[in-house]
Amino acid sequence: MKTLQYYNIHFLISTFFGLGKTPKIPGTIGSIAAFPVAYYIFSLAIAAHHTLFLESEVIFFCIIFSLISTLIIFVIGTYSADRYSKLTEINDPKEVVIDEVVGQMLTIFLTIPFSFMFLSNSVPIDLLVIISLLVSFILFRIFDILKPWPINWIDKKIKGGFGIMLDDVMAAIFAIVVYDAVLIYIIDYFTTK
């Protein structure tokens, strides 16, 4: 097993600037690190929206902008994770957390806007943000750790940087589906009462 220096670009990207080298719960640390990145991307989207679009289009624009940003980070992360894996001679190094960053970002970007669309008139915004972020974090971590099928199949069968990244994207998709299904159920339950 080879070790990389902290100034190696693949080390910096794959470990998300060294956060993956924390001795305990590096995946959880990587997921938490996604929050300021997601906030920054949302802020950029909102700033760009004010100059380009009408107010009613802000959520749609934020989602598209955020997904494009996540796709760019996914591509860069896939390449760096692949190079890091080959350089360290480890198939799926535990310190690689760019996959958790991307997975958590994807979960945030496809859950929070829908909470705003459906609940912002009935729940205080601060409370809505806190609950939405907490639930999206918990759901993503559950699916990332438990790895139900096909996440576990992807984790075992698809190698290299793409495999490292893809299982976390699938965990994010599971979290998004559960989150949005529960959200729709809650909305339906209270609107029919």
The per-residue pLDDT for 59 is 73
CA distance 113 to 18: 30
Mean pLDDT of all residues in 68-85: 95
Number of helices (H), then strands (E), in the chain:
8, 0
The amino acid that residue 171 corresponds to is A
Confidence of residue 39 (pLDDT cuts 50, 70, 90): confident
Average pLDDT, the chain: 86
Buried b (16+ CB within 10 A) or exposed e, 86-118: ebbeeebbebbbbbbbbbbbbbbbbbbbbbbeb
Q: Does residue 5 surpass a pLDDT of 80?
A: no
Domain tally for the chain?
Answer: 1
Is 46 or 189 the better-scoring residue by pLDDT?
A: 189
The per-residue pLDDT for 125 is 73
Assigned domain for 169 exists = yes
The per-residue pLDDT for 168 is 97
Q: Does residue 38 surpass a pLDDT of 90?
A: no
Rounded to two decimals, the pTM is 0.89
Taking only Cα atoms into account, the Rg of the chain, rounded to an integer number of angstroms, comes to: 18
Assigned domain for 46 exists = yes
113: nearest Cα among 158, 48, 63, 159: 63
The per-residue pLDDT for 20 is 93
Q: Does residue 55 surpass a pLDDT of 70?
A: no
Q: Does residue 54 surpass a pLDDT of 50?
A: no
Assigned domain for 1 exists = no
Assigned domain for 4 exists = no
Assigned domain for 176 exists = yes
The amino acid that residue 67 corresponds to is L
Assigned domain for 2 exists = no
Q: Does residue 129 surpass a pLDDT of 60?
A: yes
Domain that holds residue 164: 9-191
